[in-house]
Amino acid sequence: MNFLKRFSLFESLLIAVILGTHLYASFSDAYNFPNNWFTRDDAYYYFKVAQNITQGLGSTFDGINLSNGYHPLWMIVCIPIFALARFDLILPLRVLLVVMALFNAATAVLIYRLVKENLSLSAAYLAASFWAFNLNIHATVYETGLETPLAAFTIVLFIYKLSQFEKEWQPKGAKPVTAHQISLLALIAVMVMFSRLDLVFIAILGGLWIILRGSPVRFLAPLDMVIIFISMTFSVAIRTGLDTYNSTYAASAVEVTLIAMGIKLSALYFFGAYQHPRTNPVWKTIRQTLSALTIATVLIASVYLILSNLGIGKNFPRSAFLLDWGISAILILAVRLAAHWFGNEKIKIELQQPTPMTEFRSNWKNWFSEALIYYGIVGGALALYMLYNKLTFGTSSPVSGQIKRWWGLLKNTVYDYPASNWPSFFGINYQWVYDAWKPASNLLIPVAKLLRPIYPGADTLDERYYIAMLFFSIVILILLFANARQTLRAFSNMALIPLIAGCGLQIFSYTTTAYGGAKEWYWASEMILIVLIGSLLFHLVLRPITKKIKNTRRIFEFASLALCVSLAYTHTTYIAAIMRHNYYPESQSYMEVATYIEENTPPGAIIGMTGGGNVGYFIRDRTIVNMDGLINSHEYFQALQNGEASQFLSERGMTIVFANTRLLKQPPYFGQFDPYLESYTVYGGKGLLYLWPEPKYPQQK
């Protein structure tokens, strides 16, 4: 009972609705689970590996090849659940659906508390309900069966704990920050990182936010890091063109960016560009920033030229250094001017302030000791994970990520391309997986259609979409700048700076590195940011009304609750529609393709598929081997690159392939399987083929 008392009436109702609808779904017809809910093939990579681990086969999808192509924390969640697969293949899916509902409820409650404690009750109602019941968020985060429910929960938990930490150290007379507090936050950051490895940026920036508390550096440096990253890579891309950038220059651009990150941040600090912007005249801030960036650019170019002459650095367009100087100067100065606007107006210009060197001498011991605790835990956990992977799987990082970066370097690959246009490069392409800002971007499409009378044309939807985006971005900035004090307080208390910067670095880590397989579920942190920023904007719009007109606060709260009910009704109706009860016969095959393969192959057959996650989970008395390599071994990835994949798989007992033969002729397969294949039946555009141990004819090089 004491546990239940910790939840407010709204939280209790929210949890009840979420769990109630998902429990209803969990008892629905078995056919629903692979066909209406867990429809993403990638999810079954987790499910089958988890099942094999519980059966003592190790971390393997096919029972033959060891693989680490997954995010570790979600696999840990899946392992005990898929121990149940030995009794019934649908039972663990029913349990997993409820587990995901628990993550949904926990995330929604944390969002509610975070927004309520820092903004308003009406904003908290809407934020929590929007997260819990928005159909786009639900489809992307909670229906895939992938790691996103856990990732979203750990991010919100981390932000909530940072928010609490912010209030603990800020008040006068507050107790000193302890090693225990920092260690706890670091452990949560480790959870964030291992829920999705690309969330390492949020974990790193969270440490800066904690350690540099009380200093303007914590606000400015994370944003500068995003600017430095995009400025250097964009400078190279605009100089070479995106196609050439992806195929030739992406690796060297990232190398130079990492060098630039260290040099520019150091130069900005020691030139005084991280002092409080209100303590200096604007002209002095501009001078300090430009001086720091100029010296830094010279040093970056010199270092890279030396590395190139030593044979360490790769080819790099030297004019990009000048472009980078101009772009980064404009953007970093814009951040400084914005910081001047948002800064405490009570701070006077030329207020006596320690020089950067004096500040560094005064604080470096404390910074170092706290960094040792925080990054010792985060970095140590990452180092142990990489060492374990190297010893167990022969590679220190998940093979799936390595393969997708390889795809991005290939021309005319059958799989996803890297960012091939500028909207994708910046993560704002609403027509592709590089739309990192759903569901906010979904709201702009109807607005873009309404603009057609003003901007006519049957093929101008793109232009109208970006006009709408620009318009709303300007409106949002005006609203934030007009409420500078409230905005600064919210950004501080809700730890929005590390979240914003972490989202930016995560997006650019894909778009600027020729990554060839991004998916829509990668952007969970961006969805959380949208919900929190939307809550802030909602609060800022209503705040002046509630202050001037009596009783409006209650009216808005009731209106927010009404919207919550509407969202919940739409959500429950949707779930009831897709998760039917007593609709499908029990004899209905879960997957017709699996039944077809069973009917046309002998028991015990080892069958290769390009993908094959769901078939591998549901097929009986056969083994499915993943041929694209995402959930195969590092050795297979090397064989695929070397054109030896058919021999590699044949040596491990694979005798049958089920795939589209035209697909196997193109990159990344390059026709290397063709001499070994002989078709004997076709189903749904795919061939069921024999894989011979020896080629039928000489393979062309």
* Dihedral angle, C-alpha 299, 303, 306, 310, nearest 10 °: 180
Q: Burial of 247 by CB count in 10 Å (0-12 exposed, 13-18 middle, 19+ buried)?
A: middle
- 337: which 2 tokens? 């001017």
pLDDT in tens, 505-534: 999 999 999 999 899 999 999 999 999 999
pLDDT in tens, 465-508: 999 999 999 999 999 999 999 999 999 999 999 999 999 999 99
- Three-class DSSP category at 624: strand
pLDDT in tens, 184-215: 999 999 999 999 999 999 999 999 999 999 88
Question: What does the DSSP 8-state code read for residue 60?
Answer: B
In angstroms, the CA 674 to CA 646 distance is: 9
From the centroid of its chain, how far is CA 567?
Answer: 25
Please give the average per-residue pLDDT across 391-410, as a whole number. 95
Q: Please state whether beta strands 656-659 and 686-691 pair in parallel, antiparallel, or not at all (unpaired).
A: antiparallel
pLDDT in tens, 681-698: 988 889 999 999 999 877
- 328: which 2 tokens? 């980064």
**pLDDT band per the 50, 70, 90 thresholds, residue 343:** confident
Q: Could you tell me what percent of the chain has a pLDDT over 90?
A: 81
**pLDDT band per the 50, 70, 90 thresholds, residue 357:** confident
Place of tokens 């909207």: 423
Reading phi first (left if > 0) and then psi (alpha if -120 to 50, else beta), residue 677 is in beta
- 280: which 2 tokens? 């200096």
pLDDT above 70: residue 66: yes
pLDDT above 50: residue 1: no
Please give the full DSSP string across 424-466, using - where no structure is assigned.
HHTTB-TTSTTBTTTTHHHHHHHHHHHTTTTS--TT-HHHHHH
106-115, 275-284, 373-382: segment of lowest average pLDDT: 275-284
349-358, 413-422, 556-565: segment of lowest average pLDDT: 349-358
CB 314 within 8 Å of CB 255: yes
In angstroms, the CA 656 to CA 691 distance is: 5
In angstroms, the CA 260 to CA 254 distance is: 10
Q: Please state whether beta strands 677-683 and 606-609 pair in parallel, antiparallel, or not at all (unpaired).
A: unpaired
In angstroms, the CA 435 to CA 437 distance is: 6
In angstroms, the CA 664 to CA 661 distance is: 5
Question: Distances from the Cα of 83 to the Cαs of 53, 75, 225, 241, 583, in angstroms?
Answer: 8, 12, 44, 50, 28
Which pLDDT score, from 0 to 100, does residue 348 have? Answer: 59
Q: 634-638 — which CB contacts under 8 Å span 24+ positions?
A: 634/393, 634/394, 634/395, 634/399, 634/402, 635/65, 635/394, 636/65, 637/399, 637/402, 637/403, 637/406
- 269: which 2 tokens? 């600090």
pLDDT above 70: residue 701: no
In angstroms, the CA 695 to CA 691 distance is: 9
* Dihedral angle, C-alpha 192, 193, 195, 196, nearest 10 °: 120
In angstroms, the CA 90 to CA 64 distance is: 24
59-68, 172-181, 681-690: segment of lowest average pLDDT: 172-181
Which pLDDT score, from 0 to 100, does residue 556 have? Answer: 93
CB 397 within 8 Å of CB 386: yes
In angstroms, the CA 43 to CA 51 distance is: 13
Q: At what angle do helices 496-511 and 217-240 cross, to 10 degrees?
A: 20
- 511: which 2 tokens? 């778009």
- 17: which 2 tokens? 């609705």
- List the chain domain ranges: 175-211+358-548, 233-353, 592-691
In angstroms, the CA 363 to CA 234 distance is: 35
pLDDT in tens, 380-389: 999 999 999 9
Q: Count of alpha carbons within 13 Å of 153, Cβ hemisphere only?
A: 20
In angstroms, the CA 394 to CA 661 distance is: 31
pLDDT above 70: residue 234: yes
CB 111 within 8 Å of CB 157: no
CB 301 within 8 Å of CB 317: no
In angstroms, the CA 252 to CA 315 distance is: 7
Which pLDDT score, from 0 to 100, does residue 560 have? Answer: 95
pLDDT in tens, 601-658: 999 999 999 999 999 999 999 999 999 999 999 999 999 999 999 999 999 999 999 9
pLDDT in tens, 111-168: 999 999 999 999 999 999 999 999 999 999 999 999 999 999 999 999 999 999 998 8
104-108, 242-246, 288-292, 408-412: segment of lowest average pLDDT: 408-412
Helix or strand (DSSP H, E) at 689: strand 686-691
In angstroms, the CA 675 to CA 348 distance is: 78
Which pLDDT score, from 0 to 100, does residue 174 have? Answer: 64
CB 655 within 8 Å of CB 608: no
- Three-class DSSP category at 680: strand
Q: How far apart are the first and last CA of the chain?
A: 72
List CB contacts of 388: < 8 A, sequence separation 6 or more. Answer: none
- DSSP β-bridge partners for residue 435: 428
Q: Burial of 696 by CB count in 10 Å (0-12 exposed, 13-18 middle, 19+ buried)?
A: exposed
pLDDT above 60: residue 349: no
Note the pTM of the prediction, 2 decimals. 0.95
Please give the full DSSP string across 585-607, using - where no structure is assigned.
-TTS-S-HHHHHHHHHS-TT-EE
Average pLDDT, the chain: 93
**pLDDT band per the 50, 70, 90 thresholds, residue 286:** very high
Which pLDDT score, from 0 to 100, does residue 309 have? Answer: 81
Q: Count of alpha carbons within 13 Å of 633, Cβ hemisphere only?
A: 18
List CB contacts of 361: < 8 A, sequence separation 6 or more. Answer: none
Higher pLDDT, 608 or 355: 608
